[in-house]
Amino acid sequence: MISVTRKSHFNAAHRLHNTEWSDEKNDKFYGLCNNKNFHGHNYDLYVTIKGPIDNSSGFVVNLKELNEVVNKKVINVLDHNLIQDVEWFKDRQPSTENLVVFVWEQIVSEIVLPAKLFCVKLRETGTIFTEYYGDE
């Protein structure tokens, strides 16, 4: 099998805060990510598709179509927005762990077989990234 990865970029803001916890516990657990004024990140998103090479096109996936799907279902929803304002996050923390699941759920059904979504990777900072491979 061959895998192809497409990189995207978006900017979004969030605040990690659990309303069931005290301010002290939120501050201790989330640190700067609990900033009451919110804060933003410059995210790099990597979407990896795995599958056989199509004999007629020579591709695993049509990258133009993948780009359109990622932009429509993810980038246009998150870029320059407050993550908590996205309906999917109403009852979830806007963590990178939840963000990769969100991205997966938005695009998995859009991938044309026999290619399959293999991995969603999200880089929040230069030293932190999260990867999701679907429910295994």
- DSSP string covering 32-101, please? GGG-TT-EEEEEEEEEEEEEPPPTTT--SS-HHHHHHHHIIIIIHHHTTEEGGGSGGGTTS---HHHHHH
Catalytic residue among 80, 87, 131, 136: 80
124 is catalytic: yes
Catalytic residue among 33, 65, 97, 119: 33
What is the torsional sign of CA 1, 132, 63, 4? negative
80 is catalytic: yes
Catalytic residue among 97, 110, 124, 131: 124
33 is catalytic: yes
Catalytic residues: 33, 80, 124
